[in-house]
Homo-oligomer: A and B are copies of this chain.
Amino acid sequence: MKSVTEYLTFNIDSKMAFMNITPQVEDIVRQSGVREGLVLCNSMHITASVFINDDEAGLHHDFGAWLERLAPFNPDPNVYHHNRTGEDNADAHLKRQIMGREVVAAITKGKLDFGPWEQIFYGEFDGRRAKRVLVKVIGE
């Protein structure tokens, strides 16, 4: 069994954003030489997500508006107890639960085995600082 571990760093200059990281993951898979296996791709931070959906700007707008409705930003420590720690990012921890921490994808014949519209995204919910994504390939 082969394995390769890589770390990607992102520093998004807004609070919330969605960034297509498929090319970076494809590169790691290609360079791994793994023909059949799995790739795990996860946020190493708990106010960010890695998920698979569509690379369409209107949908990303919809994701943002929808997440804000389900888990609104509110720095008030009476609304979110987490903000009693001095942080103001409780909403980002909730948004990340909706969008998920990680993706596990199949590698078949040396490539990401994806449907026609599948693209991997880094979802940032508390940006303006450097944060990491782990990519781990295992297989043969």
Q: Which residues of A contact B (CB under 8 A)?
A: 1, 3, 5, 36-38, 40, 42-46, 51-54, 56-59, 61-63, 66, 70-71, 80-85, 90, 93-94, 96-106, 108, 113-118, 132, 134, 136, 138-140
Contact = CB atoms under 8 A, between A and B. Distances in A.
A82 B97 contact: no
Copies in the complex: 3
A63 B94 contact: yes
A115 B103 CA distance: 16
A23 to B, nearest CB: 18
A132 to B, nearest CB: 6
The 5 tightest CB contacts between A and B, nearest first, are A44-B115, A58-B81, A59-B82, A106-B136, A3-B36
A106 to B, nearest CB: 4
Contact of A138 (B37, B44, B66, B136): B37
A59 B93 CA distance: 8
